[in-house]
Amino acid sequence: MPQPAPPEQGSQGYDRGYLLTEQANPDSQNLDRLSTLEVVELFNQEDAKAIAAVGEQKAEIATAIDVIAAAISKGGRLFYIGAGTSGRLGVLDAAECPPTFCSNPELIQGILAGGMNAMVRSSEALEDREDDGAKAIADKNVSNLDVVFGITAGGTTPYVHGALKEAKLRGAQTIFFCCVPPEQFPIRYDVEIRPLVGAEILAGSTRLKAGTATKVVLNTISTGVMVQLGKVYGNRMIDVSVTNSKLEDRAIRIIRDLTSLSREEASTLLEQSGRRVKLALLMHWRNVNADTAAQMLQSANGRLGDLV
């Protein structure tokens, strides 16, 4: 098998055809002649392979969760960084953490080549700029407290590697996600997650299976981290941000389910807590006011389970 060139050497003339993510899928070679139902069935079959590939990386994903949770517990931050679909999925996961877990938006951040404009308008050429990736990390003042998580389906994106190299220079821990095996791209980072989803239905279109695997991995990691940080009690999002009617209803139902209070009583308790579910639950279970409950939670580093 041809040896891969370092990503910083990539150019229009560099042949990436050996990469698993760029190969043609024999099961979809007649894609343009399939019926609509056959296309849907094929996607379903291939997506199942993506989920299975993620399952093969369980140990690595668990390690990533432990690394990130430990860093955040010590005052660090997590930065996802990528280009195109990979970067957009990182931004999406970061954006979903504050409303789900009431986390500080600075805690988990997504960095996308081309900035937020690239979320809705293609700017794929920017992925070739390694220096831009390094600058993005410098602009965030990344330090040895932080974790930088590079996402690149094919493994070679210079923007991502520029960011990860700069992060390493600054002493940050580095996590690397790609969908190609080590022999196609050598190991160089602290934690590597490599779900080998195989060739895409549409050759080279890594927004498909690779994108699915990326979303599954990020879902697992961010949720696992928040569980470790005490943002979850049982399987309830007790730090949910109560910012609209849907989330208010969810908050009331969580309180009702865990306390057996009536809906009216749960709603009153929620208001007394300052619309903070975790605080409301502790107030009820320990029969204390909001200020006392807040002090108790602070002493337990926000871990409700340690107090009940």
Q: Has residue 11 got a pLDDT over 50?
A: no
| Percentage, residues of the chain above pLDDT 90 | 78
| Beta carbons within 8 Å of 168's beta carbon, 6+ residues apart | 174, 189
Give 245-306's CATH code, choosing from 3.30.565.10, 1.10.8.1080, 1.10.357.10, 3.40.190.10: 1.10.8.1080
| pLDDT the model gives residue 120 | 77
Could you report the per-residue pLDDT of 115-149, keeping only the tens digit for each?
888 887 776 667 778 999 999 999 999 999 999 99
Residue 187 sits at the vertex; the CA angle it makes with 184 and 188, to the nearest 5 degrees, is 135
Three-class DSSP category at 112: strand
Q: Which residue has the tokens 């908050």?
A: 251
- Indicate the range of 235-244, 264-273, 283-292 predicted with least confidence: 235-244
What whole-number distance in Å separates Cα of residue 249 and Cα of residue 214? 31
273 Cβ contact list (under 8 Å, min separation 6): 279, 280, 283, 290, 293
DSSP secondary-structure letter at 3? Answer: P
Would you state the pLDDT for residue 51?
Answer: 97
- Tell me the HSE value of 150 on the side-chain side, using a 13 A CA sphere: 33
3-state SS assignment for residue 297: helix
Rounded-to-10 torsion of CA 69, 154, 164, 109: -50
Residues 6 or more apart in contact with residue 298 via CB below 8 angstroms: none
Catalytic residues: 96, 127
Mean pLDDT on 18-47: 92
Whether the predicted pLDDT of 40 surpasses 50 = yes
All residues at 6 or more sequence positions from 169 whose CB lies less than 8 Å from its CB, including other chains: none
Distance of CA 11 to the CA centre of its chain: 29
Asked whether residue 12 carries a pLDDT value surpassing 80, the answer given is no
CA-closest candidate to residue 280, choices 230, 265, 249? 265
What is the DSSP pairing of strand 147-151 with strand 78-82?
parallel
Say which CATH topology domain 16-228 has: Rossmann fold (3.40.50)
Q: Where in the chain is CATH 1.10.8.1080?
A: 245-306
pLDDT band at residue 14 using 50, 70 and 90 as cut-offs = low
State the average pLDDT over residues 212-238.
95
CA 58 vs CA 40, 160, 193, 262: distances in Å: 28, 23, 9, 41
Arithmetic mean of pLDDT, 280-301? 95
- What residue ranges of the chain are covered by domains with CATH 3.40.50.10490? 16-228
pTM for this entry? 0.89
Residues 74-109 have pLDDT tens digits of: 999 999 999 999 999 999 999 999 989 989 999 999
